[in-house]
Amino acid sequence: MLGMTRKDAMMLAIVAIVALLAPFILNPFPVDSGFAQFNAGYPDLMQRFAIFGIFAIGFNILFGLTGYLSFGHAAFLGVGSYAAIWMMKLLTTNILPGMVMGIIVAGLFALVVGFISLRRSGIYFAILTLAFAQMSYALAYSVLTPITGGETGLQLKLNDARVLDAPLAPGERADANLFGIDMTSSYDLIVGGWQFTFNAGYYIAAVVLVLAFYLSIRIFRSPFGMMLRAIKSNNTRMTYTGLNARPYALAAFVISGMYAGLAGGLMVAMDTQVGPERMFWTASGEVVLMTILGGAGTLIGPVLGAGLIKYMENIISKINSSILHEWFYWMPDGLEDFVITLIYPFVGKGWHLTLGIVFMLVVIFLPGGLVEGGQRIKRLFESKKARKTSDQTTPAE
Amino acid sequence: MGILEVKNVNKRFGGLQALSDMNLSIAENTVHAIIGPNGAGKSTLLNVLVGKLIPDTGSVMFDGQSVLGRKPYEINQMGISRVFQTPEIFGDLTVLENMMIPIFAKRDGAFRMHAIESVGNERAVVQQAEHMLESLNMADQRHNHSASMSRGNKRRLEIGMCLSQEPRLLLLDEPTAGMARADTNNTIDLLKQIKEERDITIAIIEHDMHVVFSLAERITVLAQGTPLVEDTPDNIKGHPKVREAYLGESATA
Amino acid sequence: MDAIILQILNGLDKGSAYALIALGLTLIFGTLGVVNFAHGALFMIGAFCAVTISRILTFSHEVVDETRTDFLGNPMKVDVPYIHSIVGQNAGDFMIDWAVPLSILFAIPVMIGIGVIMERGLIKHFYKRPHADQILVTFGLAIVLQEIIKFYYGANPIPTPAPSAFRGSFDFGAFLGMDANSIIYPYWRLVYFAFSLVIIGAVFAFLRFTTFGMVVRAGMADRETVGLLGINIDKRFTIMFGIAAAVAGLAGVMYAPINSPNYHMGMDFLVLSFVVVVVGGMGSLPGAVLAGFLLGILESFASMSEVLELLPGINQIVIYLVAIIILLTRPRGLMGRKGVMED
C-alpha cells in the first residue's frame, strides 16, 4: 500500500488516526475535574507536538540512520523560521509560500554547513555543527539585526508589505492563514463536562506531520536508507564496496535540515513570530533528547519522544506546591510536608531536572529509547507465553 | 602484460623504507600469493593497491589504468574488491542486506539518490543477493543480524559480498588469520570453488603456508620491501633463498 | 600600543578560564578517552563553592546592640555572623572578606570527591560505549547538575566579591611608563591569571615529576601496554578524573568575583572550552593551554571598537570561525598527537 509493507502502513495509519483524534485523546478529563491540568488537548500544545515531531523525524534521518550526531540542528529550524516570516511579511499571510521558503533556505544552509562539517566525523562533527549553530545564533542576535530583528526578533505587523494580499480593512489584523483558513480559528465541542477544541492550525500541522512521517518511512525502506545505515554500521566496508559515503551523508544532512526548516516554518505559521533563542544550542540539545528518548533509528521513536517531552514540559512545569498540597492533603501533616519536599524539586520550574534525570536513565539503561523498552516488555511477555505453551504442547517448529 | 602491474614503487615512512623498487605483475585469471616475513612490506603493498596509500614513486596500473591517487571506492568501481584481515561487514544489518549493498553499488555506482523506491521492490537485486547466499550455503541465515555470526561465516559473507560485484581482481589480506582449522579449510574450499567457477584474478597475502600452497599458482616472496623471488609453488618450496629468508624458521618448526 | 596591551590583558582572564577547563577536558579525554560534556558544570559548581563558603561565613544571628538605638530609642538589633563568636570579630571579618580564596580549601576535597564519584558511578560504564553515548550521558548529567544548583541557589547571578585588598585596579600605564590611567586592570584579574598559571604549572609538574604522573602519561600514550605491566591504571585514571574536576572547580572558585556565578555559566563556558580543546588538539595538554589563552586574547581583540567597525559582530563568532578553519585545515589542531580521534 502506497509502496509500504503492511506493517509500515499500519504504523502510518495509527499515527494518522492518533493525530486526527488528538483533541479527544489528549483531553480525557472533564474541564472541572481536578485532573484537568493533565489535559493536553489545547491548540498551542498540540501544535507543538506536531511541529517538534517533524523536527525530530528529520533529525532521526541523520542521527538515527547515519550515526552522525549533530549538535546544531536548531540553526536550521531558526533559519527556516526567519525565511518563513519574511515571506509572510513581504508576500502574503498565507503560510504556504513561507513554509516552502523555510524548507528551501534551511536546505541550502544545511548544504553549506553539511558540506564543511562532514569532512570530519565523530566528536569533531558534533563540535563543528555546534560551532556553526552558535555562530548563527550570535549573528542573528547581533550583526544580522536588520534581517533578524536582533534580540526582539520579528513579528507580523500591520504595515508589512504583503504584495500579494489585499489591503487590510480597518480593524483587521494580519493573521496567518491557509487560503483564508485562519490558523487561530477553533471549534469547541462541549460534551457533558468535557470540552474538545478543534483548531485549524493544529490540523494543518498534523497533516504535515503525517506527510513527513510517510516520507520518512519511504526513506527508511529505500536503498538510500539502507546505505545510510551502512555508513553507521561500517564506513570502511562502505568505501571498499565502491560507495562514496560523503554524498550519502550529505544528502541525509540536507534532508534533515529541510525537515527542520519545515518545522521552523510551521512554528512561524502558528505563532507568527521568531527570535534568535530558537537557534540556541540547548534547542539543538532538545531535539537530540527527543530522538534518543523515543528511540534513535526507529521510525516511530522520534515522534513519541517529541510528544512525551513536550507533554511533560507542559504538564510537569505547571505543577506547583499548592497543587502538591492538594494531592497529598490526606497524609498526616509531617509526612505530607516530607513527601512534598521530596517531589517539589522535580516539578514546576524544576522540570528540567526531571528531564535530565530521565534522559540519563534512558541513555544508561535503554539506549534504544522507549521503542526498545516496548520491545523488551513485548519479548518478556512472549517468552513467558512461549514457555507456557511449550509446557503444555510441543512447539510447532 | 598482467592485469595488475606494479612498477618501481617506493614508499618511505620516516626512516623506514617500506617498499623499495617494488615490481610485481599479476597475470589475469591466476591465483597469486604474496608471502614474506613480518615487516616485508606486504600490508604497505596492499594499501597502495587499494588507494589507501600513495607511493613516493612508481606506477600501479590495473588493466591499463593507473590506480594511484584514486579513492578506495573509485578503485573498487574499477573492478578491485578487497577482503580484510578481520572481516569487515555491516554488523548492524541483516545478512541479506549485507549482500544487497554491493549489488546496489555495482548497479548504481558510487552514489545514487534512490530514496523513494522500497528495497523490497528491487526484485532483481533481492534475487541476486539470495542466489549468492544460496551458493554460499547461507540462505537460511539471511534474516539474521550479521554481527551475531561466527567468524568463519562472517568471512564467507565478506567474500561473497566481494564476489557479488563480479570483480576482476580479488585481494585477500590473510583471509584465514585467527581462524580454527575447520574454518580455514572451509575458506580454502570456498576460494577453490570460486576459482573453478569464475574468470577471476585473486591476489592473496597470507602467513599460513598450508593456505598458500593449496591455492596459489604463482608466489612472490617479499623481503625488506622488495620482491625476492617469484615462481610457481613447487619451485618456491625448494628455493634456497626463500628458505633462508622466510621458510627457514617455519620449515624446522 | 596601550590599546593592544589592554586587549591582551582583557583576554587573559577569560583565556585563563578557557585554559583551565580545556586542560581538565583534555586530561579526561587523554586518559579515559571520554568526552565530558559535564565539565562546564564542574566549573560552575566550583564557583558555587565560593558562594556557599561566603554564605556560611556570613551566616548570622540577631544580637541586641545596647550601645546603639533605633529612632524609637530602643536598643538596636544587628545581624552578627556566627563566625564572630567562634574566632573573634577581627578574624571573623577577615575570613568573610577573604571568603573566595578560603573557598579553595573547601573546593579541593569537594571537587575531587565529585569527580571520583562521577567517574566511578557513571563514566566508568561508558568507556566501551560510542562517543555519541558519552556525549549524551554527560550532557544529561550537566543538565541535572545545573538544575540542582538552580533549585538551591535560584536563577539569578549571585555577586561574590573579591577580598577588599584586591578590589581596586592596577595602573599598568603608569607601571610601564606610559600615561597614567591609560591601561587600568582590576587586581583580581591579575590574581586570576597568576592563579591559573600556578595551577597549570602544578598539573604539568605533577605529570612530569611524580611516578603517578609518569604512569598516567604512559597510559595516555598506550593504555593497554601499561595495563599489561600489572599497574592498576584504572585507579589512577579515577584519581586523574578527580584532579581534572578539581582544576575545573578551582577555575570556577576564583572566577566568582569576575562574573557573578549563575547556574548556566558552566554551559556557556563548556561550548567554548570544547572549541578550545579542538583547536589545541584533542589529547594535547600544552595545546589546550595555549589555545585557551590564544582564543581568549583573540576574542578580546575582536571586541575592539576599531575591529568591530570593520567587521561588525566578529567578536561574537571569532572563536567558532577559528575552530572551523582549524578543524578543516589542521584536523589534529595546533598541537594534536597523531592517531588521536583522527577519523
Q: Which amino acid is at A110?
A: A
Cβ of B105 and A241 within 8 Å?
A: yes
Cβ of C317 and A126 within 8 Å?
A: no
C146, closest residue in chain A (CA to CA): A353
- Spatial contact of A256 and A250, defined as CB atoms under 8 Å apart: no
Query: A–B contact (≥3 CB pairs within 8 Å)?
Result: yes
Q: How far apart are CA B30 and CA B49, in angstroms?
A: 17
Spell C18-39 as b/e; 16+ CB within 10 A means b.
bbbbbbbbbbbbbbbbbbbbbb
Q: 3-state secondary structure string, C56-101?
A: HHCCEEEEEEEEEECCCCCEEEEEEEHHHHHHCHHHHHHHHHCHHH
Q: pLDDT per residue over B191-233, tens digit each?
A: 998 888 888 999 999 888 888 888 899 999 888 888 888 888 8
Instruction: For residue A115, count other CB atoms closer than 10 A to its CB.
Output: 13
Q: Does A248 touch chain B (CB under 8 A)?
A: yes
Cβ of A128 and C324 within 8 Å?
A: yes
Cβ of A122 and C274 within 8 Å?
A: no
Q: Report the Cα–Cα distance between both ends of chain A, in Å, rounded.
A: 31
- Spatial contact of B241 and B64, defined as CB atoms under 8 Å apart: no
CB-nearest partner of B91 from A227, A233, A240? A233
Choose, out of A124, A232, A284, the residue to mutate when testing the contact with C (most C CBs < 10 Å).
Answer: A124
Backbone angles phi, psi at A338, to 5 degrees: -65, -50
Cα dihedral A294, A300, A304, A305 sign = positive
Q: How far apart are CA A102 and CA A274, in angstroms?
A: 13
Element (H, E) at A150: none
Q: Does A356 touch chain C (CB under 8 A)?
A: yes
B158, closest residue in chain A (CA to CA): A237
Instruction: For residue B118, count other CB atoms closer than 10 A to its CB.
Output: 17
Q: pLDDT per residue over B75-106, tens digit each?
A: 999 999 999 988 999 999 999 999 999 999 99
- Spatial contact of B107 and A276, defined as CB atoms under 8 Å apart: no
Q: In chain A, which residues have pLDDT < 50?
A: 393-397
Q: What is the pTM of this model?
A: 0.87
Q: Which residues in chain A touch residue C147, judged by CB atoms under 8 angstroms apart?
A: 350, 352-353, 356
Choose, out of B47, B88, B101, the residue to mutate when testing the contact with A (most A CBs < 10 Å).
Answer: B101
Cβ of C324 and A356 within 8 Å?
A: no
Nearest chain A Cα distance for residue C268, angstroms: 10
Cβ of C316 and A345 within 8 Å?
A: no
Query: Facing residues of A198 across strands?
Result: A187
CB-nearest partner of A239 from B73, B116, B119? B73
Nearest chain A Cα distance for residue C72, angstroms: 40
pLDDT reported for residue C134: 87
Quick one: how far is CA B116 from the chain centroid?
34
Q: Which amino acid is at C125?
A: H
Nearest chain A Cα distance for residue B192, angstroms: 23
Q: pLDDT per residue over A214-262, tens digit each?
A: 999 999 999 999 999 999 999 989 999 999 999 999 999 999 999 999 9
Cβ of B115 and A226 within 8 Å?
A: no
Give the pLDDT of chain C (343 residues) as one tens digit per residue: 677 888 888 888 889 989 999 999 888 887 777 888 899 999 999 999 999 998 888 888 888 777 777 777 777 777 788 777 777 788 888 888 888 888 999 999 999 999 999 999 898 888 888 888 888 899 899 989 988 998 889 888 888 888 888 877 777 777 777 777 777 788 888 899 999 999 999 999 988 888 888 877 777 777 666 666 666 777 888 888 999 999 999 999 999 988 889 888 888 788 888 888 888 887 788 889 999 999 999 988 888 878 787 777 787 788 888 888 887 787 777 777 654 444 4
**Cell matching residue A69:** 550526531
Q: Which amino acid is at B221?
A: V
Cβ of C140 and A356 within 8 Å?
A: yes
Helix, coil or strand: residue A313: helix
Q: pLDDT per residue over B130-153, tens digit each?
A: 999 998 888 898 898 999 888 888
Q: Which residues in chain B touch residue A218, judged by CB atoms under 8 angstroms apart?
A: 115-116, 118
ipTM given for this complex: 0.89
Find chains touching chain B: ≥3 CB pairs under 8 Å. A
Cβ of A243 and B73 within 8 Å?
A: yes
Measuring CA to CA, which residue among A395, A66, A20, A11 is closest to residue A226? A66
Q: Which amino acid is at C93?
A: D
Q: Which residues in chain A touch residue B109, judged by CB atoms under 8 angstroms apart?
A: 242
Query: Facing residues of B11 across strands?
Result: B19
Cβ of C320 and A135 within 8 Å?
A: yes
Instruction: For residue C152, count other CB atoms closer than 10 A to its CB.
Output: 11
Q: Does A132 touch chain C (CB under 8 A)?
A: yes
Measuring CA to CA, which residue among A130, B234, A96, B242 is closest to residue C35? A130
Measuring CA to CA, which residue among C188, C237, C161 is closest to residue C16? C188
| B residues 161..220 contacting A (CB < 8 A) | 161, 165
